[in-house]
Amino acid sequence: MNIEIDGLSISYKFTGDGDKTAVVLQGWGTDFGLYDVVANSINSEYRVLQFDFPGFGASPEPPEAWNVDRYADFFCHLMEALGITKAALIGHSYGGRVIIKLASRESIPFEIEKIVLMGSAGIVHKKTFRQKFGVRKYKFLKKLFGLKFIYFLFPEIIDDWRSRQGSADYRNATPVMRNCLVMAVNDDLTDRLEKIDKETLLIWGDKDTATPIGDAKIMEEKIKGSGLVVLEGGTHYCFLEQPQKFTGIMKAFFRIGAAG
């Protein structure tokens, strides 16, 4: 199904028919179908919404680069359009960023019941000397290789260098989405964590290299009333790698199948 939000045709679906609602906010560059295992873990008692952010999956990209706050605004508009006034929010990676923004705001047009953050992004670490040097080197080479006469002399070398810069997400993105990603990864949400006052579950793989387990421990320390569950051997997509364990954790947190 599709719905028009902020002038964009947004792809979405509902599963389950429970009295309560939960929404899955996806990770960067994924499509909402990747999170079927997440929805299926609770949709026996929850109506679960999955959707594609603008520029993700089947939804068109925004007309210009959006920062995380603008994506959070978009999400509020989506919730209003669908008539959802209360929901549990489940976020993976980039989706976690958006949830942190929303949950730390003074007011939003819906009530958050509880939160699940899976390998959530949002912590920006201080760069090491080596990383700072790498950034300066990159900027110098980018400027040098941008000179027409230099490119004329070494086109193959320069094209090969450009093809290897940045993360896979960055390289595979369009210019608009690249700018969205740059704004996101430089937006440190650490100070916002203490403003979150909803029951929060953190689910992490201890082998996650995209959002290291250390980030989870920072979130656990700063978010009041939060709890961390670590899936040993799990990576950034531990919910796909260990679906049975993940489902059991989700059912326990959402009190599905519990006596009484």
Residue 144 clears pLDDT 50, i.e. is over it = yes
Contact 57, 65 (CB under 8 A): no
- Residue span(s) of the chain under CATH 3.40.50.1820 come to 2-124+187-253
Residue 143's pLDDT band, with cuts at 50, 70 and 90, is confident
Q: What pLDDT shows up at residue 208?
A: 97
Weakest mean pLDDT among 165-174, 199-208, 250-259? 165-174
Rounded CA separation 218/105 (Å): 20
Overall average pLDDT of the 19-33 stretch: 96
Overall average pLDDT of the 131-139 stretch: 54
Residue 180 clears pLDDT 50, i.e. is over it = yes
Prediction pTM value: 0.85
Overall average pLDDT of the 68-93 stretch: 98
Q: What pLDDT shows up at residue 163?
A: 57
Q: Quick one: what percent of the chain has pLDDT higher than 90?
A: 77
147-178 residue pLDDT tens: 776 666 666 765 564 556 555 655 667 889 99
Q: What pLDDT shows up at residue 168?
A: 64
Q: What pLDDT shows up at residue 104?
A: 97
Q: What pLDDT shows up at residue 161?
A: 46
Q: What pLDDT shows up at residue 260?
A: 44
Q: The tokens 């939060």 sit on which residue?
A: 226
CB atoms within 10 A of CB 244: 9
Domain 2-124+187-253 has CATH 3.50.50.60: no
Top pLDDT among 174 and 82 is at 82
Residue 211 clears pLDDT 80, i.e. is over it = yes
Which residues are CB-contacts of 24 (< 8 A; sequence separation ≥ 6)?
A: 32, 35, 38, 39, 48, 49, 50, 90, 91, 92, 95
Rounded CA separation 260/257 (Å): 9
Residue 239's pLDDT band, with cuts at 50, 70 and 90, is very high
Residue 8 clears pLDDT 50, i.e. is over it = yes
Q: What pLDDT shows up at residue 225?
A: 87
